[in-house]
């Protein structure tokens, strides 16, 4: 677990998939095995559980409780475990946050409320209410491709005044907005879009919350280290080696192909839950080729 206030949740975090059994039930032993693999063999100092890649919207509250507890039991003594608690209902999100705190989570990931399309005043009120509800540090998740509504720079500046809102997972694709926010606040930025890891790190992000991190954690750590040491030639080379992996995993919804890759590697993953669908044999064959181009042989 990190003690660096400029990097409150660590450097390399993966938005961890939730392993399911073949009948679609939660695989808690698999979740523990995968969490340990990521921390012990893939250079992760943190995990985000119950996020989008964890298929949280299709998990019941009880299932979410069980997954978080299992992961904390497996790696909570040696990695930062951030619980995805965000929904499009403020009261439900607060309940999730309080439950995560009781279970021992180290931090909260709170996504912009989706579908509702709240105005910026609504976002300010929502995030503040959640941050007020526990003593845990909060990472905002800014992802307008899913939420439609971005968290605007002025709103982020106001939210940064809250003592427990300390970080942003950025998947907005707007480097200008990131730079303006970094100039006006002390929020720690984490790249939430693997194809933009290098540019976000170059303008001041402190780490990543990755999907391809399931497969390339050590290279992500190498990328961050190269940027921080000022070796942009090396950083570009590492980044270029990762491009085929990013392409492969994101040819469709990321969790579908991340789980396919994990299954091919013999790691716990299982199927996805509806409305998602598992990768077809043709998609798996393409994934194999993409990952081979990125140095990963399934």
Q: Is 141 one of the catalytic residues? A: yes
Q: How far apart are CA 189 and CA 171, in angstroms?
A: 11
Q: Taking Cα atoms as reference points, which of 71, 73, 29, 75 lies closest to residue 49?
A: 71
Residue 80 counted as domain residue = yes
Range of the domain at 207: 12-232
**Is there a binding annotation on residue 49?**
no
169 as an active site residue: the answer is yes
Helix (H) or strand (E) holding 139: strand 138-142
Cβ–Cβ contacts within 10 Å for residue 229, how many?
10
Interatomic CA distance for residues 254 and 286, integer angstroms: 14
Instruction: Round to whole Å and give the CA distance between 56 and 92.
Output: 13
Residue 92, pLDDT above cutoff 80: yes
User: What CATH number is attached to the domain comprising 64?
Assistant: 3.20.20.70
How far CA 84 is from CA of 65, 124, 225, in Å, comes to 11, 18, 27
Q: What is the β-pairing status of strands 207-210 and 12-15?
A: parallel
pLDDT in tens, 151-173: 999 999 999 999 999 999 999 99
pLDDT at 209 over 70: yes
Write the DSSP string, 219-277. Answer: HHHHHHHHHHHT-HHHHHHHHHHHHHHHHHHTSS-HHHHHHHHHHHTT-S--PPPTTS-
CB-based contact 284:263 (threshold 8 Å): no
pLDDT at 283: 98
Residue 52 has pLDDT above 80, yes or no: yes
Q: Is residue 1 very low, low, confident or very high in pLDDT (cuts 50, 70, 90)?
A: low
pLDDT-derived band at 257, boundaries 50, 70, 90: very high
Report d(CA 19, CA 25) in Å as an integer. 9
Question: Exactly one of 114, 141, 189, 190 is catalytic; which is it?
Answer: 141
User: Does residue 90 form part of some domain?
Assistant: yes
Cβ contacts of 95 within 8 Å, gap of 6 or more: 61
Domain membership flag for residue 292: no
pTM given for the model = 0.97
Quick check: is 169 in a domain? yes
Long-range contacts of 160-165 (CB under 8 A, 24+ apart): 160/184, 160/185, 160/186, 160/187, 162/127, 162/128, 162/131, 162/132, 162/138, 164/131, 164/134, 164/135, 164/136, 164/137, 164/138, 165/127, 165/131, 165/137, 165/138, 165/140
Give residue 6's pLDDT: 86
pLDDT at 4: 79
Task: Say how far apart CA 271 and CA 263 lie, in whole Å.
Answer: 9
Please state the domain count of the chain.
Answer: 1
The reply to whether 243 falls in a domain is no
Flag whether 189 is in a domain: yes
| Residue given tokens 């939210």 in the structure block | 159
Q: Per the annotation, does 67 bind a ligand?
A: no
pLDDT confidence tier of residue 5, bands split at 50, 70 and 90: confident
Question: Region 36-45: what's the mean pLDDT?
Answer: 97
- Residue 238: pLDDT above 80? yes
d(CA 141, CA 110) in angstroms, rounded, equals 6
pLDDT higher than 80, residue 287: yes
Annotated catalytic residue, options 114, 169, 189, 190: 169
Q: Flag whether 257 is in a domain.
A: no
Give the count of beta carbons closer than 10 Å to the beta carbon of residue 19.
25
* Chain segment 219-234, per-residue pLDDT in tens: 999 999 999 999 999 9
Task: Please report whether residue 293 resides in a domain.
Answer: no
Average pLDDT of the segment spanning 256-278: 98
Give 235's pLDDT tier (boundaries 50, 70, 90).
Answer: very high
Average pLDDT, the chain: 97
Work out the burial of residue 163: count CB atoms within 10 Å of its CB; fewer than 13 is exposed, 13-18 middle, 19 or more buried: exposed
> What pLDDT score does 276 carry?
98
């Amino acid at each position: 677990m990190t003690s660096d206030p400029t990097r409150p949740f660590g450097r390399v975090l993966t938005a961890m998939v939730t392993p399911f059994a073949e009948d679609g039930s939660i695989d808690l032993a698999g979740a523990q095995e995968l969490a340990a693999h990521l921390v012990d063999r893939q250079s992760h100092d943190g995990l985000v559980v119950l996020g989008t890649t964890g298929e949280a919207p299709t998990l019941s509250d009880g299932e979410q409780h069980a997954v978080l507890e299992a992961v904390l039991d497996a790696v909570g003594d040696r990695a930062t475990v951030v619980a995805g608690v965000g929904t499009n209902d403020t009261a439900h999100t607060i309940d999730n946050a309080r439950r995560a705190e009781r279970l021992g989570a180290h931090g909260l990931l709170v996504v912009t409320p989706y579908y509702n399309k709240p105005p910026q005043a609504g976002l300010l009120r929502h995030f503040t209410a959640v941050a007020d509800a526990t003593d845990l540090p909060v990472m905002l998740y800014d992802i307008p491709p899913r939420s439609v509504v971005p968290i605007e720079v002025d709103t982020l500046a106001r939210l940064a005044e809250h003592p427990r809102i300390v970080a942003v997972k950025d998947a907005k694709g707007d480097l200008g907005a990131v730079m303006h926010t970094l100039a006006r606040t002390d929020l720690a930025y984490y790249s939430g879009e693997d194809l933009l890891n290098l540019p976000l790190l170059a303008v001041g992000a402190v780490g990543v919350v990755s999907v391809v991190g399931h497969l390339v954690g050590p290279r992500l750590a190498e990328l961050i280290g190269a940027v921080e040491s000022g070796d942009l030639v090396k950083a570009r080379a590492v980044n270029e080696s990762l491009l085929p992996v990013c392409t492969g995993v994101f040819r469709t919804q990321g969790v579908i192909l991340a789980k396919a890759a994990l299954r091919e590697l013999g790691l716990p993953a299982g199927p996805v839950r509806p409305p998602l669908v598992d990768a077809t044999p043709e998609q798996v064959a393409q994934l194999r080729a993409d990952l081979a181009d990125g140095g990963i042989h399934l």
